[in-house]
Chains A and B, each alone.
Chain A
Amino acid sequence: MALKLADYKTEVHNDWCPGCGDFGIVNALQMALAEMGIERDKATIFSGIGCSGKTSHFINTYGVHTLHGRVLTFAQGGKLANPEMTVVAVGGDGDGLGIGAGHFVAAGRRNIDMTYIIFDNGVYGLTKGQASPTLRLGEKTKSLPSPNTNYNVNPIGLAVASGFTFVARGYSYDVRHLKDLIIKAVRHKGLSFLDVLQPCPTYNDINTRDWYAGIDLAQESMERHSRIYKLEDTHFDPMVHYDNETEVNEKLSQALIKSLEWGNKIPIGVFYQNEIISPYSTRLTDKIPNYLENPPAQQRISENGLPTTDVSEILDSLRV
């Protein structure tokens, strides 16, 4: 029986603030799972800490709500041990780019076949609105005592520099577009990263839904000017087509330059995709040929309570 969108929803009460951008992301994720027809017991949503961390409880698949900043570590361990499972990790920008930044970079280097979605709103919502890593220097969201004294992290730029092989940005109020991006990300063979712009209606009074929609710009020009535009509507080609240094470098630099656009024009869509770099599972099968057919989670380790591993060769080599 085909699964419907409703099958991916749990009965857990969702306590996010009214108007929170997170709702759009959860909906898009549930829609993507339904559209791909991934069985509930063949997917795990790992989440970090904060408002976004609750996501795993709202989705009716395996859900692992981990620790602040550590979501990628848990998710990678799960995927490595059970590579058949679809793994999506989610967390806030403070979680992934502040306390968890080291794991973000290391995960890029490994390129394990899974998806990481950052709920990017520029503030630490659940602790009452402190500045998070993507908030720009000098900006003062409403609960900050004084303007932000730190320069912002560029999530897209950091992802391409770290080795992520699929890097995209979505907008939580364009749910269908986001759903399509999630499907592309999950189907990508390697580590995919989605930076999702997600207004926090309670604490971020700068990057609001109206701001993204360009209402302020409309007042000047008397017409509506959404700040958001889609890369696929331009001639931007994110794909690395050949295994060639010049090609790779061009696509990397193009992604980086594009990621610096901000202000009145904010691109969403796929910035970079490279399917030539081997996913981690290939690097493992190079040395463990049957890794994918007989991964850790499938291995038979005992028979009638006794170990089946044969270490006699090792023990014989130690014999004196």
Chain B
Amino acid sequence: MGSIDFTWLIGGPQGSGVDSGANVFSKVCAEMGYRIFGKREFYSNIKGEHSYFVVRVSDEEIHSNVNDVTLMASFDAETIFRHFNEVPKDGGIIYDSDLDKTTTDEVLTLDNYFKARLHKELESKNKPFTIAGVLEIAKEKGVHLYPVSFREILSNLAEKTENPKLKGLVRLFNVLAVSLSLGLIKMPLDPLLQSVNSIFSKKPQIAEINKQAANFAYDYAKSKFSNFQYALTGTTKQPDTILVQGHFGTSIGKMVSGCRFQSYYPITPASDESVYLESHELLEIHNDRPGSTIVIQTEDEISAMGMMIGAALTGTRSSTSTSGPGFALMAESLGWAGINEVPIVITLYQRSGPSTGLPTRHGQDDLLFAVHAGHGDFPKIVYASGDIEESFYDTGRCFNYADVYQIPVIHMMDKFLSSSVVTCKKFDPQKISIDRGLLLDKVDGEYKRFAFTDDGISPRSRLGLDNGVFWNTGDESDEFGHITEDPYVRIQMMDKRMSRLDLVTKRIPNDEQVVSFGVHDYTIISWGSTKGPILDAISILKKEGINIGFIQIKLIHPFPSDYVKSLLKDAKTVIDIEANHSGQLGKIFNQNVLREIDYFILKYTGRGMTSTEIYDSLKKIVENKANKREVLSHGA
């Protein structure tokens, strides 16, 4: 890693501005040229439960979070109790000194399981069950403590500005925490002040109060604290860099790919994408009148799926976005789209299951479900993106696959991606191509929607096209789309549809199916958002002289068996890394490549993997000290 590798954590009760604080901090760092990898964690709750945001800042390319927190900015007791252990020697903790005597029992949102573990640790070290107790442990480890009385700052500020209302304004705590941090690490305050202006552009008085608070706290940290060894003074800005949130890749990707219809039912973590599409529903079109995306919030996911299919039948590129529980409701209609050869794209932002599971936490639990969703045999594509930048271009690919092969495409995303905030290279819309396959603009003579052809793909009419009348049915059908139960037509139709799977692996370029980051004796196979932490972990190992290969499998169904097999022929040990319990990709791999997975690195706590955890596990594997299943658990 570069000379700067700094991780900042801000925590507080949900609804107290943790997110906006972190977004401002990320923006300030990004504008100073740093690369950012930020991740948000939160409970299934509106107000009060603990949420936190970790932002990793570096002057080199980074793709993940690490375990250690260099500076923690807290303004409540729970954040300190839950995260003090993540700050290593020489790191810092900014905290509200008024909380010193707060006991664990006074923090009502600390659950008993966590408290029991914490009490055990405090007991063993002979410390009281208070903030002062945990901070003593941190101090003994060599962590710098930066006590600040938030209330005192507010009353000083109230006095100075002759505005007594400021005294009790706890809503300013997040601005104070961010400003204290910026002062401590010697970053400029201006970008923060500008952000405050834009956030409160319609409330100038509130903007003013926030700016006063920010200035005061910033100067306070600068003048009072001097022993912190980290300073972020800026670095060379990379050209064409954007700062994006998790769902921007697929949403902007959908606009560019020409998706003009999106139906959805609210679900975490997928609905952000639909809401974003609706807030940008009017589209600018080169050399043409404005376009638009029709975004419909439906009564349930069954309806979202039905509406999307209805829209797709008119020739409109159509999509929905959902998570596991919603996708479960879509399974029946998925089969309908399959038997009727309807091109649709389902963006599946996975979270932890089963059932409601951990509703706001990460998981890659739905791979096998996506591959097998729907009753009966029908072809579909399951395609997985590894990071936000990739998800932009992959969205374009998914729509092309759907159109060209006339089959449903499930685009696998997850909560880790959706709640990340990262810097990446500006998306390039010109790198997305649009291929509508055999979609017809006109029809002459007799038309058969499901005409038998050499490669099994029939020219596709659309509802409303002149002379293109056709029928659809969820029953088995003949070439016109009328119901048939004839055994011979059944064979022909099943063969026609299922032959699509071979076409997909044959025609889609290899580098769209699988990305190889090198193959060595030890080689990782993985899919989806584990990509970032894996890349960072193997790059550290490489610097230590340990070469680990990695192939990222993007096309998961149909599985590119031959290509994966050939790629791995020189790998002696295959390691499967996934955020689920059973190693779902491993099962698919084993079934298709007929080879055993040697090691699994798995995580199913609902928290994303850090590169530190993967590094540690890989090292154990290389040193022959690992279990066949390494189970990760870092993260509050």
Contact = CB atoms under 8 A, between A and B. Distances in A.
Contacts of A301: 257-258, 260, 291, 317, 434
B243 A320 contact: yes
B318 A77 contact: yes
A320 B303 contact: no
B107 to A, nearest CB: 36
B541 to A, nearest CB: 30
B296 A306 contact: no
A295 B299 CA distance: 23
Interface residues of B, number: 84
A163 B589 CA distance: 52
Interface stretch (A41-49, A142-150, A224-232, A253-261): A41-49
A62 B299 CA distance: 26
Given A81-B260, A302-B258, A318-B248, A66 B292 contact: no
A81 B426 CA distance: 31
A169 interface: no
A7 B305 CA distance: 33
B429 interface: yes
Interface in A270-320: 284, 287-288, 290-291, 293-297, 299-303, 305-311, 313-315, 318-320
B624 interface: no
Contacts of B242: 315, 318-320
A112 B5 CA distance: 55
A313 to B, nearest CB: 7
Interface string B278-322: 001111111111111110101110110111111111111110000
Given A106-B298, A294-B291, A310 B483 contact: no
Interface string B474-488: 110000011100000
Contacts of B457: none
Nearest to B290: A290
A288 B286 contact: no
Nearest to B32: A320
B294 A103 contact: no
Interface in B409-458: 423, 426-427, 429-430, 432-436
Contacts of B30: 320
A284 B434 contact: no
Given A41-B466, A294-B292, A303-B286, A75 B473 contact: no
Main secondary structure of the interface of B (DSSP, over half): mixed
Interface stretch (A52-60, A132-140, A170-178): A52-60
B309 A309 contact: no
A65 B472 contact: yes
Contact of A74 (B244, B284, B307, B315): B307
Question: Which of A49, A291, A318 has the most chain B CB atoms inside 10 A of its CB?
Answer: A318
Interface in A65-93: 65-67, 70, 72-82, 84-85
A57 B241 CA distance: 55
A303 to B, nearest CB: 7
A305 B433 contact: yes
B471 A63 contact: yes
A319 B243 CA distance: 6
Nearest to B302: A70
Interface string B223-255: 000000000000001001111100010001001
A307 B465 CA distance: 23
A77 B308 contact: yes
A299 to B, nearest CB: 5
Contacts of B261: 77, 80-81, 296
A307 B281 contact: no
Nearest to A45: B471
Given A77-B261, A78-B313, A307-B257, A290 B285 contact: no
20 contacts: A41-B468, A62-B464, A63-B470, A65-B471, A67-B474, A73-B298, A77-B307, A78-B311, A80-B261, A81-B311, A102-B299, A102-B303, A103-B303, A295-B294, A297-B316, A297-B464, A308-B285, A311-B252, A311-B256, A318-B248
Rank and list the top 3 A-B pairs by shortest CB-CB distance, nearest first: A73-B306, A301-B258, A77-B310
Interface of A: 10, 12, 40-42, 44, 46, 49, 54, 56-57, 60-67, 70, 72-82, 84-85, 102-103, 105-106, 284, 287-288, 290-291, 293-297, 299-303, 305-311, 313-315, 318-320
